[in-house]
């Protein structure tokens, strides 16, 4: 009997072959489903990762290799470094827009910031880190609410050198000349104006260091350098080129290279043998600068680290002070750029220089009491010696200084102990200068009476405070040979109390007191000087008078820290 295979479509039980085929189909469908699920999960995970990465990544990262600086970024650079900055910015990417760079002398930018002006830059590239330190220091001293600055990485540096002709350079190098050699004055020195040229403030700090901080010697050298100050670096180098005697200009390695490229007269750099200063070129931003600005500054710093060839092409060294590969002789020496603290010291020595070299406004307050007629030597009285010394002191002052002469004894005009005999006038005026000299030579004709010291000192200080002239060294030069003899006026504690009331750091009026002979109340003079941040001298011997008076006049600017 033959059995027929039932038809599965009829719902009857399938055969074994059909069952196995159905089972295979089910397994294939399950496997396909799993594969699809895995693919979908993978796509989702990758999408999340990319989404998170896109969210974390800024729209533009100037710090990344090949990235461009923000088009809105404002860069202000000193003319000496502007071209180098532009080339570094251009090297960040071939398709980057050209960076907009405003050139402005660093001194002008610093001065504006010190007065409280808002920064007109996102990144400032001065030719020295001294300038932001100076801007901050000036603002603090004057109480100005100025923008807080952040000094970032160092872009480049350049050593401070002596620029001179080849014959002079050979002599200086053979003698191992350095900043301490200035004291020997064997060569003329031209200094570009420290108020506008950073290399000069760096050189002044090096000079101070070479002299071991000797304030007196530094002051004397600073005053000797002042007449030869040139307004610009180029003017200083021109003066060296035209000099007929051995002369050097204090400048930078970069400035010498640029001068030689532009001039028919070639100068060579001499590297100081003792102190080896340099100027560092930093990137400065506002303390609250945006992240993009900070990143842009970091990008420029990184670009400079990898572009020694660009720096060398502009006469600069890298941040470490390494010499170019082509350097020979002393130029092969690595000269490290100063630390930020050194930049602050440069700013401070610049302020010292400006005080030292500022025009003097001096009121000479001279004792003409009867004791000045006493014999100091067999053939000269005290007043005679003072007259000679006074004339020398007048001749030591610069022509942009001004001088007035008062005398005092007791009750010269009614109950007043003091008297004006020469009003203030410029020593650049030959008529006024001759009048002061003639008056000094004729002080003996005014001698008489007791010593009305304390009231006269207070009157002189009050007058100088009331007529104070900013930008000048306002001081009273007190010359006396005795003690206060005015019982109707102030006593010493009363005078010191009044001087304390008049004290104003913004308008300082120092009393430089000189006591002549053994009868002087030197203790009182020292207290008067201390109360005004001045100084007190004593000339015990007749021959000391001239030396002491000249020293008092020339040390006027470093008081009270001349040493």
The pTM assigned to this predicted structure is 0.72
How far, rounded to the nearest angstrom, does the alpha carbon of residue 262 sit from its chain's CA centroid?
Answer: 28
Q: Which of 337, 354, 371 is the last residue of a domain?
A: 354
What is the rounded distance in angstroms from the CA atom of residue 441 to the CA atom of residue 335? 55
Q: Is 394 found in the same domain as 269?
A: no
- Give 102-147 pLDDT, tens digit per residue: 999 999 999 999 999 999 999 999 999 999 999 999 999 888 999 9
Kindly state whether residue 141 falls inside one of the protein's structural domains: no
Residues with Cβ within 8 Å of 174's Cβ and at least 6 positions away in sequence, in order, are none
430-441 vs 382-396: helix crossing angle, rounded to 10: 160
Q: How confident is the model at residue 49 (pLDDT cuts 50, 70, 90)?
A: very low
Query: Of 336, 354, 372, which residue sits at a domain end?
Result: 354
Q: Do residues 248 and 382 both lie within one domain?
A: no
Has residue 46 been placed in a domain? no
Q: Among candidates 226, 220, 198, which has minimal Cα distance to 208?
A: 220
Same domain for 230 and 378, yes or no, is no
Is the residue at 450 inside a domain?
Answer: yes
Q: What is the pLDDT of residue 39?
A: 41
Question: With pLDDT > 90 as the criterion, what percentage of the chain qualifies?
Answer: 57
Range(s) of the domain holding residue 191: 158-279+349-354
251 and 382 inside one domain: no
Cβ distance 126 to 288 under 8 Å?
no
508: left (phi over 0), alpha (psi -120 to 50) or beta: beta
Q: Are 390 and 526 within one domain?
A: yes
| CATH code of the domain covering residue 402 | 3.40.50.410
Crossing angle between the packed helical segments 130-142 and 198-210, to the nearest 10 degrees: 90
Verify that 267 and 372 share a domain, yes or no.
no
248 and 372 belong to one structural domain = no
Interval 278-320: pLDDT, tens:
999 999 999 999 999 999 999 999 999 999 999 999 999 999 9
288 phi and psi, to 5 degrees?
A: -100, 30
Does residue 119 or residue 14 have the better pLDDT?
Answer: 119
Instruction: Please state, in angstroms and rounded to a whole number, the distance separating the CA atoms of residues 453 and 333.
Output: 60
Mean pLDDT, the chain, whole residue set:
84
Cβ neighbours for 199, distance < 8 A, ≥ 6 positions apart: 128, 160, 192, 233, 250, 251, 252, 255, 279
Number of H helices, E strands in the chain: 18, 17
Flag whether pLDDT at 92 surpasses 90: no
Query: Are residues 366 and 266 part of one domain?
Result: no
> What pLDDT digit, counting tens, does each position of 444-482 carry?
999 999 999 999 999 999 999 999 999 888 989 898 987
Residues 494 and 376 in one domain: yes
Asked whether residue 247 is assigned to any structural domain, the reply reads yes
- Asked if residues 527 and 492 have their Cβ atoms less than 8 Å apart, the reply is yes
Q: Would the CA dihedral through 4, 10, 14, 19 be positive or negative?
A: positive
256 inside domain: yes
Both 385 and 526 in one domain: the answer is yes
What is the count of structural domains for the chain? 2
- In this structure, the answer to whether residues 262 and 396 fall within a common structural domain is no
User: Token pair of 14, please?
Assistant: 């399938």
CATH number at residue 263: 3.40.190.10
Give the residue, 84 or 400, on which the prediction is more confident. 84
Same domain, 419 and 270: no
Given 316, 337, 354, which residue is the final one in a domain? 354
**What token pair was written down for 296?**
């842009």
Among candidates 209, 208, 158, 167, which has minimal Cα distance to 187? 167
pLDDT the model gives residue 255: 97
The set of residues, in sequence order, having a beta carbon less than 8 Å from that of 18 and lying 6+ positions away, is: 8
């Amino acid at each position: 009997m033959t059995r027929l295979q039932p038809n599965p479509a009829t719902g009857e039980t399938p055969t074994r072959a059909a069952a196995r085929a159905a089972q295979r189909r089910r397994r294939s469908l399950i496997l396909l489903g799993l594969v699809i699920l895995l693919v979908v999960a993978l796509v989702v995970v990758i999408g999340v990762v990319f989404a998170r990465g896109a969210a974390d990544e800024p729209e533009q990262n100037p710090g990344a290799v090949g990235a461009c600086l923000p088009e809105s970024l404002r860069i202000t650079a000193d003319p000496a470094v502007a071209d180098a900055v532009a080339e570094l910015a251009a090297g960040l990417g071939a398709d980057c827009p050209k960076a907009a760079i405003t050139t402005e002398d660093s001194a002008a930018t610093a001065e504006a910031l010190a007065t409280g002006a808002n920064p007109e830059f996102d990144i400032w590239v001065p030719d020295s880190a001294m300038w932001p330190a100076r801007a901050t220091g000036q603002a603090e001293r004057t109480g100005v609410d100025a923008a807080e600055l952040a000094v970032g990485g160092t872009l480049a540096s350049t050593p401070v050198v002596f620029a001179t002709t080849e014959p002079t350079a050979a002599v200086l190098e053979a003698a191992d000349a350095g900043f301490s050699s200035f004291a020997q004055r064997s060569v003329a020195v031209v200094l570009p104006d420290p108020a506008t040229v950073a290399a000069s403030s760096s050189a002044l700090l090096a000079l101070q260091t070479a002299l071991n901080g000797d304030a007196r010697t530094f002051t004397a050298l600073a005053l000797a350098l002042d007449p030869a100050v040139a307004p610009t670096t180029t003017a200083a180098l021109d003066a060296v080129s035209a000099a007929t005697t051995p002369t050097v200009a204090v400048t930078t390695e970069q400035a010498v290279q640029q001068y030689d490229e532009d001039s028919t007269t070639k100068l060579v750099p001499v590297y100081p043998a003792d102190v080896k200063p340099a100027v560092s070129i930093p990137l400065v931003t506002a303390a609250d600068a945006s992240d993009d600005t900070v990143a842009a500054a970091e990008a420029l710093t990184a670009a400079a680290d990898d572009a020694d060839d660009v720096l060398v092409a502009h006469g600069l060294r890298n941040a470490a002070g390494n010499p170019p590969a082509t350097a020979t002789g002393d130029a092969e020496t690595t000269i490290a750029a100063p630390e930020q603290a050194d930049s602050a010291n440069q700013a401070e020595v610049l302020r010292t220089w400006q005080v030292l070299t500022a025009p003097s406004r001096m009121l000479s307050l001279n004792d003409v009491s009867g004791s000045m007629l006493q014999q100091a030597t067999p053939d000269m009285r005290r007043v005679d010696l003072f007259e000679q010394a006074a004339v020398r002191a007048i001749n030591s002052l610069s022509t942009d200084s001004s001088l007035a002469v008062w005398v005092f004894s007791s009750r010269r005009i009614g109950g007043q102990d003091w008297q004006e005999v020469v009003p203030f006038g410029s020593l650049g005026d030959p008529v006024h200068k001759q009048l002061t000299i003639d008056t000094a030579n004729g002080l003996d004709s005014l001698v008489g009476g007791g010593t009305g010291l304390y009231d006269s000192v207070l009157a002189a200080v009050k007058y100088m405070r009331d007529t104070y002239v900013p930008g000048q060294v306002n001081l009273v030069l007190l010359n006396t040979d005795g003690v206060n003899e005015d019982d109707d006026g102030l006593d010493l504690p009363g005078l010191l109390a009044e001087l304390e009331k008049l004290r104003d750091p913004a308008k300082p009026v120092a009393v430089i007191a000189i006591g002549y002979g053994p009868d002087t109340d030197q203790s009182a003079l020292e207290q008067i000087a201390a109360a005004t941040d001045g100084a007190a001298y004593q000339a015990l011997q007749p021959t000391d008078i001239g030396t002491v008076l000249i020293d008092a006049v020339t040390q006027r600017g470093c008081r009270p820290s001349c040493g």
